[in-house]
Structure 1
Amino acid sequence: QRLPVLRDLGLECERFGGRSFLIRSVPSGVGQEQLAGHLPELAEIASEDSADWEDHLLIGLACRSALRRGRVLGIDEQRTL
């Protein structure tokens, strides 16, 4: 099962019926908003029939949650960093 691996990465998911999953939480942090918008892509990566799926998912998480150049951070975001 991949759900324990996803949980270890901060993606809390559970089966919702058929091939559907309910996503309860995503990793916290500054890039959380960007990451939430890419959940369908990340789900596709997580369902890959590949031995490297976990590496691909880690790369996807890192790229999609990265701070964009020039983005102004609020005080709370600065403290989180």
Structure 2
Amino acid sequence: MSFDPQTLQDIIACPKTKAKLVCEGDFLVSVDPDTRLKYPIKDGIPVMLVDEATEVPLDEWADIMKRHDRNPETGELVS
């Protein structure tokens, strides 16, 4: 059974900060603007290990947040 990011998006969180995650291609990206961590999805399974995460550059993170209807400065949902 593979990972469905839309189904689990509301129940999984960044293991480091407990922030929500958004699915961006083959990664889950934390909405926390301070850490901006992204976790790989390998063979359909998210690798939720902090040691496997990489930091997204601020400008790239802001673009990802915009694509997911989030504030590009705070990561909060835009209503």
Considering the TM-score relative to the shorter chain, is it more than 0.5?
A: no
Taking structure 2 as the reference length, the TM-score comes to 0.29
* Max Rg structure: 1
Taking structure 1 as the reference length, the TM-score comes to 0.29
Higher strand share: 2
Higher helix share: 1
